[in-house]
Amino acid sequence: MNYNKILPIPNVPQEIIDAVNYKKLAVFIGAGVSRLLGSAGWDELAYNLIKTCFEKKLINYRESDSLKQLKDPKKIITICYHLLKKSNNKEIYYKTLENAIKANTDRLNSQNIYDEIYRLRALFITTNIDSHFHKYFEPANIVFKENEFIPSNIDRNKLYHIHGCLEKDRNSIIFTVPDYIKRYNQEKFNNFLKKIFEEYIVLFLGYGLAEFELLDFLITKSEKRSKYKELKHFILIPFYRGEENILSFERYYYNSMGIEVIPYEKDEKGYEQLYEVLKNWNEEINQVSGYLYDTYEYLEKFANNYEKSEEDKVFQLIKNDEPQRHYFFKCLASTSNPFPWLKPLKEKVYFNPADNPKPQEVPDKKGYFFIPHWNILGYLENVAKKNKEAPSDEITNLLLEIIQEIIDYKDENGERIENYRTDWVMVKVIFSLPIEKISNKHIEFVKIALNSKWDSLLVSSEIKETVLPKLLNEGEKAKNLILELLKVILDYKKIKKDSILGEEDSFDYVPIMGEYWLYESLKVYKPQISKICGLEAAKIAIQKIKEIVTKDKTQFYPIWIPTIEDNPQTSFPDKYQNLLVYFVRNMFEFSKPQEIKEVIKNLLNEEHSIFKRIAIYIINQHYKELNQLLWTWGRNPLDEISVKHELFELFKSHAKDFSDEQIEKIIEWIESKNYYIPEEIKTDEQKKEKFLAYQKKEWLYSLLNSGNPKIVELYNKYNYLDPTELKHPGFDFWMETKWGYESLVDIEEFLNKSNEEIAKYLDSFKDKENIDMEGIADSFRNAVKENPEKFTANMKPFLKIQRIYQYSLLWGLKEAWNLKKPINWDIVFDFISDLISSDDFWNEEYKIYNYRNWIISQIAELIEEGTKDDKHAFEPKLLQKAEKISLILAEKTESELPDMLDIVTSVLNSTKGKIFSAMINYSLRYARLYKTESEERWIKSIKEEFTKRLNRNIDPSIEFSVILGQYLANLYWLDKKWVINHINQIFPKENETHWQAAFTGYLFYSSRIYKDIYFLLRENNHYLKAIKTSFKDEHITERLAQHIAIGYIEDWENLDDEKSLISQLIENGNKKQLLAIITFFWMMREGINDKIKTKIKPLWKAIFEKTIENKESSENQEVISKLITWLILIGEIDDEVFEWLKPAVRYSSKYHNTTFLSEYLMKHVSKTPKKVGELYIEMLNNNIYLDYKVEDIQKTIKILYKRGEKYLADRICNLYGARGFDFLRDIYFEYNKKES
């Protein structure tokens, strides 16, 4: 490799890449590296020592100045050392050294060059005496003692301080000339260095002029000299741009020692450019070396087969390498024997609770967070699972310690780390332990986890799946834990809710456990709970209810809990309030009556009705043992608020069990009850008597089963006073859901009457209150639909019925016609003519529903349905009647455009829109019958009406403009000349509102493009105006793009013509239009023909060149990325397409265009493997990791290997591997082991 040019980032030598692959790279780290972190250099240190000696009066000024003139800092350091030592100031010497080697804290934390040096994955040797590199190594792997530099035991996982380490041992440092001479004349040390220089490729970092002598000493003493020197080692040295001549001088010196100089440019960042060089080199090395997967293989081997001798090496590998660490824990999460690693990992503090990742805010999405996964969790879960299968006291105790440290942890602010994924696994692990190891502290943790401000559903699910079964299966032994857990899972949180009626401080009470999981848990486990601690469990739930009703008495009212028993009337049985009540109910149901008697008695005396209701329900269930609680209650229970249903059911269930005396007592209760009487009937004795009779009859109904004569007699008495059928006895209110209208009138009622009788019958409802008119109208409509001939035989009676029924009549006729049932159109048109000829019809005012417009809409729809299909149309002789009706409706109907989702839908549902649509369909029917051969097929009256309305001052309705656009092709067929002559009135450019309405109607409905109309609109610049218009409806923009795309396909538009619509659309640069064009062609991918294929690349080029002009624009980036989808439309990724695809893949993930990318690239890899490989690299280097359709990625990589693109395939495999994806690992080994 040629290194004659000085570049900011020089290429990494292949020798270094190979050395990494073969684990034969050694990196020597000199003082220049520490200087980048803020440590003093040789000159500065020497100057400081001179200053210290002068201040201590060990030398005079002249001597100080003379020392400063020396150009050898090591010589100065040696002199000063002896001066200070001789004067008993040796401590000052060391203090000066300590201060000199201190690093800048900011540099250590922000751009620490050692991060990048360590990533070189080499054997590291340093001549520095500082400890800045130590954090990357296990303490046992830091070598600094003279006797530890052993040639036969060189370990790549260690850091060798060949000049000692000040922090570790002052006596170990080599800093004076005599020290150097002594160290480098030791045979063992020389053999140590010799072996490194012979067996390793060496890279020198941070060595400069001040280390020349040292470097020379290192090389000349450690390597055999030969006539021909192999340049097998490298040194990185900074130069200014243009200093190639100085570079050549440096080479003379270094080459003589077998060292190749690799220059890098320091113009911008100075010596700190070294950080950027190493960072870039690491990215390159990691992509092409086999180190990653080799290490993965090693880690997997020892994760599954622990060996003490490999422990230090494993820890060194995972200490600073996140991908390796993640992979190791991933292997441990599935190993069959996870136990041996637990203690060593704990000792190395890998379960440090401070490392539990905190929620992190999503970049560019303020307020949105994601919860990272802690990589140790899978392993701990595996240990817990295997320990449960084969318990070990040692493992159990270790797990317990780890768990306790994690769940007890608080940060510097005294707050726990809320990571619900960690909480979830902690719960799993805790409840895999032996029961005697689980304590109330662990139950308290469950409560803390459930109260997390983040998601607690995983913990909630685990309570149901693991926690409850674990405790319940232990039975009585775990009773106290079960009760503590119930206190937790039945607990609640108070959430402020939005005010509906303006009330203040309105709250919901919801369980801290997920409502669904609480419901499921109680449903499954309540029998077991009741057997172990039923009464105690019920008391816990009762206490929760008491707390809530003390804060808010409106809670637990019958509106939400209509019955204590399971009943369809309870709309939300899984809601918290219901769950608490049902849980108490079930616990009492399963309990022995004598054990709960006192509790039930107390509940009867509670203030809130929910307690009384539960008590009465339980008395009903255990009536034999608990009935005396009812009879000795000491008050009239019927007067108790909200207990009606439970008392009613108790009376009904046990009426036969009541004694005569008890029946008499109930009768007394019924007669003496303080019934609510509505204010409006209090002064009307007759109504009041009737009202009371109904109430008393309802209670007596519950006792009829007793057969007691007095009950029967009283029931009949009150039934006589109010014979109204009892609806839902025992309920004060009843809820039911209905769909559509429920009419009091059956359709047979209409079908069996004459039309005159029907009209009178409908009229009879006119002045009645509380009549369901909609329901009656609906029945009438269905009757008309059932037998339209009957209703059209004579329609005059219906001219006087209310408008709602006229509307239903016409609606029913339309539905009948659509069902191919015959109707008498002649009578129908006469009826309509009479109806719309009435002044009353047009003058009526409506407060709520505009029945006039409803009727007109049905008339218009009838005409349209009767004309649009020649095979199912009314007789031609009736066309004149339909025409007359249409013209009247058009003239008299006012515009009333409903506000719907879009203008097209609004017009479609508008009255005037339906009228104009009917008029055109009528005209088309007329033309098909009588003017097929003529060029002017349009009936004169309608044509004149439409021509008149082209003046928007006469008809300013939006409906007319939309209908003109919608039926443009039909109008062109009716009268080509009329359309050509009036095209600029149909689309009035001077009136933006009506132009947009008309063109929207045209684009929305014109799925088929007619060449004549296309050219007509283009020549009059309507398409051009549309290109520059921002339509509210995106569908319209898509249709516009489709029209122009079809014009391009049909050669009506040419990219070479800058005035063509396709060129103008691209030049306009509207994102939505361009995306629509791209999508349109992509949607043609299944049946694309050769003609269209030839159009793709030129269009791609034009769109790309336009959008790349401003590639910083997010809108342009989105368009560029969308063009990726056209990969499926082209036959080959040639050089041009490749250049277009590079930015496209960079933006692909940001704009969600990666779904088909792996599939499409796979289709091209056989023909253009190198380009496909480089596109993958482009994506991966931009942090885009495709992981959808993995099989396509695997096939692609295999083809890359087979087609000789191993370099690219290796890089892709390594990049995926470094990110934690291992689906390419087997492929990587398959093709790399073949070479070895």
Give the span between the Cα atoms of 780 and 760, in whole angstroms.
13
Per the CB < 8 A criterion, the answer to whether 1176 and 1212 are in contact is yes
Query: What's the rounded Cα separation, in Å, for the pair 919 and 1184?
Result: 58
Cα angle value 343/348/349 (rounded, 5°): 95
Structural tokens at position 468: 């409850």
Beta-carbon contacts of residue 468 (< 8 Å; ≥ 6 apart):
485, 521, 525
pLDDT in the model for residue 210 = 58
Select from 988, 986, 989 the least CA-distant residue to 978: 986
Q: Computed over its alpha carbons, how large is the radius of gyration of the chain?
A: 45
Nearest Cα residue to 1223 out of 1215, 67, 1006, 6 = 1215
Distance, in Å, from the CA atom of 939 to the CA atom of 385, rounded to the nearest integer, reads: 86
* 3-state class (DSSP) for residue 160: strand
The rounded distance, in Å, linking the Cα atoms of 185 and 914 is 106
CB-based contacts of 233, cutoff 8 Å, min separation 6:
197, 201, 202, 203, 204, 257, 258, 259, 260
Q: Are 886 and 918 in contact (CB under 8 A)?
A: yes
Q: How many CB atoms lie within 10 A of CB 785?
A: 21
Q: Using DSSP, state whether 262 is helix, strand or coil.
A: strand
- DSSP for 1126-1150 reads GGGG-S---HHHHHHHHHHHHHHTT
Residues 6+ apart with CB under 8 A from 237: 208, 250, 261, 262, 263, 264
CA-closest candidate to residue 938, choices 888, 966, 977, 893: 977
- The DSSP bridge partners found for residue 975 are 936
Helix axes 660-672, 709-721, angle to 10 degrees: 20
- The CATH number that domain 14-38+105-289 falls under is 3.40.50
Helix (H) / strand (E) element for 26: namely: strand 25-29
Determine the distance from the C-alpha atom of residue 948 to the mean position of all C-alpha atoms in its chain, rounded to a whole number. Answer: 56
**Side-chain half-sphere CA neighbours of 563 within 13 A:** 19
What's at 999, amino acid-wise? F
pLDDT of residue 740: 45
How many residues are listed for the chain in this entry? 1236
Q: Which of these, 1047, 1048, 1045, lies nearest to 1016 by C-alpha position?
A: 1047
How is residue 1188 written in tokens?
Answer: 């959808």
Q: What is the DSSP string of 342-400?
A: HHHHHHTTTT-GGGSPPPEEPTT-TT-EE-PPPTTHHHHHHHHHHHHHS--HHHHHHHH
Question: pLDDT digit string (tens) for 873-915?
Answer: 999 999 999 999 999 999 999 988 766 568 888 898 899 999 9
Residue 741's pLDDT is: 44
Q: How far apart are CA 809 and CA 830, in angstroms?
A: 14
Rounded to the nearest angstrom, the gap between the alpha carbon of residue 609 and the centroid of all alpha carbons in its chain is 44
Helices and strands (H, E) in the chain, number of each type: 62, 11
pLDDT tens-digit map of 601-618: 999 999 999 999 999 999
Instruction: Give the integer Cα–Cα distance in Å for 1038 and 27.
Output: 60
**Alpha helices of 1050-1189 — where are they, by DSSP H?**
1061-1068, 1071-1082, 1090-1108, 1114-1122, 1135-1148, 1157-1164, 1169-1181
CA distance 332 to 376: 9
Q: Which residues contact 94 (CB under 8 A, 6 or more apart)?
A: 166, 170
Tell which residue, 344, 343, 295, 348, has the closest CA to residue 322: 295
Report the alpha-carbon distance of residue 869 to residue 277 in Å, rounded: 77
Token pair in block for residue 1067: 């030049």
Cα gap 247→245, rounded to integer Å = 5
Of 138, 113, 119, 117, nearest in space to 292 by CA: 119
Cα-to-chain-centroid distance, residue 647: 51
Domain residues of the chain, as ranges? 14-38+105-289, 43-101, 660-737, 740-814, 815-1072, 1088-1233
pLDDT along the chain (1236 residues), means of 10: 89 92 93 92 92 95 93 90 94 94 87 92 94 93 94 93 94 89 89 92 85 60 52 92 93 87 94 94 86 89 95 91 92 96 96 95 80 95 96 96 96 93 96 96 96 92 96 96 97 78 71 94 96 96 96 89 89 90 96 95 94 96 95 89 93 94 95 89 88 93 94 94 88 64 70 93 76 86 95 95 95 96 96 95 88 95 96 95 96 79 85 95 93 81 95 92 96 95 96 95 92 97 96 92 96 96 96 96 92 95 96 94 96 96 94 92 96 96 91 97 94 90 92 64
pTM of the entire predicted model: 0.75
The single-letter DSSP state of residue 71 is: S
Q: E strands of 254-308, at which residues?
A: 259-265
- Residue 195: half-sphere exposure toward Cβ, Cα within 13 Å: 14
Instruction: Tell me how crowded residue 361 is: count the other CB atoms within 10 A of its CB.
Output: 11
Mean pLDDT of the chain: 91
What does the angle CA 972 – CA 977 – CA 982 come to, to the nearest 5 degrees?
85
Strand ranges (DSSP E) for 144-240? 159-161, 201-205, 233-239
Q: Taking a C-beta distance cutoff of 8 angstroms, is the pair 374, 318 a contact?
A: no
Candidates 1208, 1136, 1131; CA nearest to 1169 is 1208
CA distance 196 to 177: 23
Burial 1128-1154 (b: 16+ CB within 10 A, else e): ebbeebeeebbebbebbbbbbbebebb
Q: Helix 773-786 to helix 803-818 angle, to the nearest 10 degrees?
A: 30
Burial of 686 (0-12, 13-18, 19+ CB in 10 A): exposed
- Token readout for 355 is 């490392």
Q: Give the C-alpha separation, 810 to 781, whole Å.
A: 8
Cβ atoms of 639 and 675 closer than 8 Å: no
Tokens read off for 256: 């003589």
In this prediction, residue 517 carries a pLDDT of 95
Q: Which three-class secondary structure state does DSSP give residue 432?
A: coil
Helices within 70-166 (DSSP H only): 73-86, 90-101, 105-110, 113-118
Q: Which residues contact 64 (CB under 8 A, 6 or more apart)?
A: 50, 51, 53, 54
Using CA atoms, how far apart are residues 414 and 391, in angstroms rounded to an integer?
35
CA distances 487 to 440, 484, 528, 536, 1156, Å, are 11, 5, 17, 11, 51
Q: Which of 777, 797, 924 is nearest to 855 (CA)?
A: 777
